[in-house]
Amino acid sequence: MLEFLANSQKNFINFLRIGIFVVMAWIGGLKAFQYEADGIIPFVANSPFMNFLLSKSADDADSYKLHKNKEGEVIPENIKWHEANGTYVFSYGLGAVIVLFGIFVLLGIWFPKAGLIGGILTVVMSVVTLSFLITTPETWVPDLGGPNHGFPYLSAAGRLVIKDIIMLGGGFVIAADSAQKLLRQRKNSFS
């Protein structure tokens, strides 16, 4: 069993690439839908890396909080606010970028340069996503009178974000594996 696992590392790394691609293609693809675009606003509005891309930021009296739609909810006034805010245009662009990152990761199975780029982009994306734990108040359980709130009590949004630490590790593994392949190719071409 140990020998099988040790000899399967290459296949498992390719499985990791496929898994990251599936997650990125699926999540990135969902950014084209209203409910998903509405759901990312607390993260984007509070992010110093992204809030400038929207018409209204978190500093705008937390106006996004007044226009939140629950998943699947359609409130026309809120949708108009999101349209004016640039929520949907931003979400479409973000989704396309995430899908593109996933394609680079997947192409790493056959093209190490693409895999290296995809791995590095996955690391960068994961660091930005993990920064939401610091910048987005909605990632922690709010103080609504119960004894468990704030750090270390992750809300549903926080539990979603913390899982990106796995993507961060996956990005590093893919980048390292791709770099090894590129170094082997370089060494073989000089031999």
pLDDT tens, residue by residue, 121-157 = 999 999 999 999 999 999 999 999 999 999 999 999 9
For residues 91-103, average pLDDT: 98
Q: How far is residue 38 from each of residues 87, 130, 136, measured CA to CA in Å?
A: 7, 19, 15
Q: In 3-state terms, the chain is what percent helix, strand and coil (to 5)?
A: 75, 0, 25
End-to-end, the C-alpha distance of the chain in Å comes to 36
The mean pLDDT of the chain is 94
Instruction: Please state whether 72 falls in left (phi above 0), alpha (psi between -120 and 50) or beta.
Output: left
Q: How far is residue 68 from each of residues 1, 42, 104, 141, measured CA to CA in Å?
A: 51, 9, 33, 17
Asked if pLDDT for residue 55 goes beyond 90, the answer is no
For residues 26-44, average pLDDT: 95
How confident is the model at residue 108, as a pLDDT? Answer: 98
Question: What are φ and ψ of residue 68, in 5° steps?
Answer: -75, 140
Ordered by start, the domain boundaries in the chain are: 26-190
Comparing 72-86, 117-131, 172-186, the range with the smallest average pLDDT is 72-86
| pLDDT band for position 164 (cuts 50, 70, 90) | very high
Comparing 28-32, 54-58, 90-94, 114-118, the range with the smallest average pLDDT is 54-58
Asked if pLDDT for residue 60 goes beyond 80, the answer is no
Residue 143 per-residue DSSP state: -
How confident is the model at residue 59, as a pLDDT? Answer: 54
Rounded to whole angstroms, the Cα distance separating 101 from 67 reads: 30
Residue among 43, 15, 11 nearest 27 (CA): 43
How confident is the model at residue 20, as a pLDDT? Answer: 98
Characterize 85-124 residue by residue with b for buried, 16 or more Cβ atoms within 10 angstroms of its Cβ, and e for exposed: bebbebbeebbeebbebbbbbbbbbeebebbbbbbbbbbe
| pLDDT band for position 191 (cuts 50, 70, 90) | confident
How confident is the model at residue 57, as a pLDDT? Answer: 59
| pLDDT band for position 167 (cuts 50, 70, 90) | very high
Rounded to whole angstroms, the Cα distance separating 187 from 128 reads: 35
